[in-house]
A and B are shown apart, each in its own frame.
Chain A
Amino acid sequence: MEVTVKIFRYNPEKDQRGNYVTYKIEADENDRVLDVLEYIKGKTDGSLSFRRSCAHGVCGSDAMRINGRNMLACKVLIRDVGANITVEPILGLKVKKDLIVDMEPFFDNYRKMLPYFINESPLPADGRERLQSPEHRARFDETTKCILCAACTTSCPSFWASDEYYGPAAIVTAHRFIFDSRDEAADKRLQVLAETDGIARCHTAYNCTEACPREIKITKAIGEVKLAIITGKLD
């Protein structure tokens, strides 16, 4: 089938602003949008720039706006988006070139969540691992699935308004550690999230939940963190 792909293009060395270039190519309905982009880059226009790595929905490199919604290009089939496709960079982050955005503000917010395991207590008597019950593990299982693709954060109207807002992905990361029974720094993270640019800026538009390629119930995770801040309890 013939596929018409309209792609946002921006070359910082030549362009003052972005523009759209349309490509017509032959593709199979079972091809992914990433395959189409690869084809255009390989056969039609080598200057097209976009991030990709694993191409299997695990690394989170190729989040982009496809037909107006944030998706991973490697997880979307042509048959699901139709023969007319518009591909644009994700919103709320500076566009560096074509579909590549500056992810630094996103990772700045991520780092504010202390995204690592903190436990200063002595190791168990056997000197090995800190055990955890399956029930305790299940408490934060959902939020361990995040691949930091930024599809959620850049679909959030509050983040569009200000990149000072930590954003859904950072809160999901915080949730993963806050509700980990082995971690001891939940208070620190909740303190950070209680700040002006924290959890209060979530206005439950649910765009994050809809955009997540890992199907994490992000708004629910944010809701649980909100409740933990209000009640001071992690149950």
Chain B
Amino acid sequence: MGLKRNVSLSTGLRYKGQGPMLTFILHRIGGLGMALFITIHILASFLGGKGGAFVNSIYENWVFQIVIFFCVLFHAINGLRITILDLFPKLIDHHREAIWIEWAVFIPVYSICVFVIVNTALGG
């Protein structure tokens, strides 16, 4: 007897991990976002014609591009951090600093990307 062990997504997300858990979650969201982008991209090519053009209009939308840029950039930078720490476990002593460096790289680069996308979309 006893309650099932199932941990729902909402229960897991409510666990109060620290900064590393946030990057863990964002990494997964980034991966899913990229998978979605690639699926839509393939779908647009596959459909062609009016249907393809409609799907094209979704992923060429500037709001969608801002989201996708977040996914790609965060996934790439975070992946790089994970790879470096996996290859050099001694650096794991400084994993918190590594995460700060990651944000220090991500925030300005992403901000520039967002600025360019918005500027192009609204300014022409």
The yes or no verdict on A and B being binding partners is yes
Q: Does B85 contact A223, Cβ atoms closer than 8 Å?
A: yes
* Distance (whole angstroms) from the CB of A197 to the closest CB of chain B: 16
State which of B3, B5, B86, B90 has its C-beta within 8 Å of the C-beta of A163: B5
Say how far B8's CB is from chain A's closest CB, in angstroms.
9
Docked-complex contact A17 and B3, CB < 8 angstroms? yes
Which of B18, B82, B89 gathers the greatest number of chain A CB atoms within 10 Å?
B89
Q: Given A91-B15, A223-B85, do A206 and B5 touch, yes or no (CB 8 Å)?
A: no
Question: Contact flags (1/0) for B78-92 with A, using CB distance below 8 Å?
Answer: 000010011101101
Is B4's CB under 8 angstroms from A155's CB?
no
Nearest chain A residue, comparing its CB with the CB of B5 = A94
Q: When the two chains form their complex, are residues B15 and A155 in contact, meaning their CB atoms are under 8 A apart?
A: yes
User: A64-104 vs B: 1/0 string, CB under 8 Å?
Assistant: 01011100000000000000000000011111110000100
- Chain A residues 209 to 235 lying within 8 A of chain B, measured CB to CB, are 209-210, 217, 219-220, 223-224, 226-227
With both beta carbons as reference points, the residue of chain B lying nearest to A226 in the complex is identified as B86
CA distance A102 to B12 in the complex (A): 19
B16 pairs with A69, CB closer than 8 A: yes
Interface assignment of A166: CB less than 8 Å from any CB of chain B = no
Whether a CB of chain B sits under 8 angstroms from the CB of A118 is no
Question: Are the C-beta atoms of B17 and A155 separated by less than 8 Å?
Answer: yes
Ranked 8 nearest A-B pairs via Cβ: A223-B89, A206-B20, A68-B16, A160-B7, A205-B24, A220-B92, A95-B3, A12-B1
- Nearest B residue (CB) for A65: B15
Report whether A207 and B20 are in contact in the complex, using a CB–CB cutoff of 8 Å: yes
A210 touches B17 (CB 8 A): yes
Residues of B within 8 A of A67 (CB): 16
10 pairs of residues in contact across A and B, judged by CB atoms under 8 Å: A12-B1, A13-B1, A91-B7, A155-B15, A157-B21, A204-B82, A204-B85, A206-B20, A220-B92, A226-B89
Interface positions of B (Cβ within 8 A of A): 1-5, 7, 11-12, 14-18, 20-21, 24, 82, 85-87, 89-90, 92-93, 95
A93 to B, closest residue via Cβ: B5
Whole-angstrom CA separation of A97 from B3 in the bound complex: 9
* A43 interface hit (Cβ, 8 Å): no
- A128 CB–B CB distance under 8 Å: no
Shortest beta-carbon distance, A163 to chain B, in Å? 6
Complex alpha-carbon distance, A202 and B7, angstroms: 17
Q: Knowing A91-B15, A220-B92, A226-B86 are in contact, say whether A205-B3 is a contact too (CB < 8 A).
A: no
B74 smallest CB distance to A (angstroms): 15
Contact residues of A between 101 and 144, Cβ < 8 Å to B: 102, 105
Nearest CB on B from A213, distance (A): 15
Query: Which residue on B lies nearest to A228, using beta carbons?
Result: B89
CB neighbours (8 Å) of A210 from chain B are: 17-18, 20-21
Complex contacts, A163 vs chain B, CB 8 Å: 5
Alpha-carbon gap, A18 to B4, bound state (A): 11
Contacts of A204 in B (CB 8 A): 20, 24, 82, 85-86
Q: Which residues of A contact B12 (CB under 8 A)?
A: 91, 157, 160
Judge if A177 is at the interface, Cβ distance under 8 Å: no
